[in-house]
Structure 1
């Protein structure tokens, strides 16, 4: 799905306030600290709670492997002033033959309400539509997750219905609002320009 320029862990994306980069082994403690909060984990389908010490290590390894072969792109979100301190994550993964991938994100609770998730996701979406052949992006949010619903609206997603998704970390299925964003409809942070990205 993603071209070779994203397959190396020196790749990063820049926004006004943030760096988005590959997760590293050194990020494990900060990731554990943020997603160990039930208010973060329980709004997702895949983050276990309680979050055990080995869970962050396993996630980082899996994300790096997927990034390295271009099957997805998982990027930790860091403030520009603290590039070694992950405060969240945005990802695109699971591309199918119809040119559709899935957006996922989480943000540490101390950073809620400041627009970081929208800023980071806009950059990743802009990149994806700029350098891949994706035609659309799917995403979902729990109906009671008001902040996630707002993020989808800000990004330009359209609601396509309500349904249930497998949620192995929640012990079964959960009900979600389902969203779709088609190429050309994204409310991107860079407008018509492609995002700045670096491989050095």
Structure 2
């Protein structure tokens, strides 16, 4: 399977919105929008980040839109995030996409956060060179509770 990243197109947004509303994926991601089904809030969020200094990419698998990846935030505190459609989990797509993204964005350090029980995402981050540096607690909208998260850092 060929994995590629490209700039986000307007036509990607309905796919991202659908992916963001998968109940199982929401639970796994944990730290999600307060109301993922609020299309106006989704559109406002994407309009804002597309106008920012964030590096936003669409993840393609054999030419199909399967997710998104981004680097966002202030210099010295920039974080990575990614979302892959649940139908494509376990195929190495997130790892390949994140590796390509961090290769494209040379600044370091980069940070990431994942729910402590999200073994898949933690494995993806570690394969891409991120190392756990701290544990924190944060309110997870998708779970309606405060949960433990792992903070990770990429140095080189």
Q: Which has the higher strand share?
A: 2
Q: Deviations over 1:51-93 (max 9, x none)?
A: 2333442233123212xxxx211111122333xxx21111111
Deviation at 1:162, TM superposition (A): 0.9
**What pairs up with 1:27-46 in 2 under 5 angstroms?**
27-42=12-27, 43-46=29-32
Contact 2:57 2:69 in 1 (8 A): yes
Return closer, same or farther for 1:172/1:62 CA change in 2, 3 Å cut-off.
Answer: farther
Structure 2: gaps spanning 5 or more residues: none
Cα distance between partner residues in 2 of 1:59 and 1:78: 22
User: Is the 1:35–1:41 contact (alpha carbons within 8 Å) kept by the matching residues of 2?
Assistant: yes
Q: Confirm or deny: 8 A CA contact 1:38 1:49 kept in the other structure.
A: no
- Which residue in 1 is equivalent to 2:74? 95
Corresponding residue for residue 3 of structure 2:
18
Superimposed CA distance per residue, residues 18-43 of structure 1 (whole angstroms, 9 cap, x where no aligned partner): 23122222223211221101222231
- Structure 1's unaligned 5+ residue stretches are 1-15, 184-200
Aligned length: 155
- Give me the TM-score of the superposition, normalised by structure 1: 0.68
Q: Which runs of 4+ in 1 moved over 4 A?
A: 166-173
Corresponding position of 1:107: 84
Q: Structure 2 length normalisation: TM-score?
A: 0.85
Cα deviation for residue 94 of structure 1 reads 0.6
* CA RMSD of superposed structures (Å): 2.3
Map 1:173-184 → 2, pairs under 5 A: 173-183=146-156
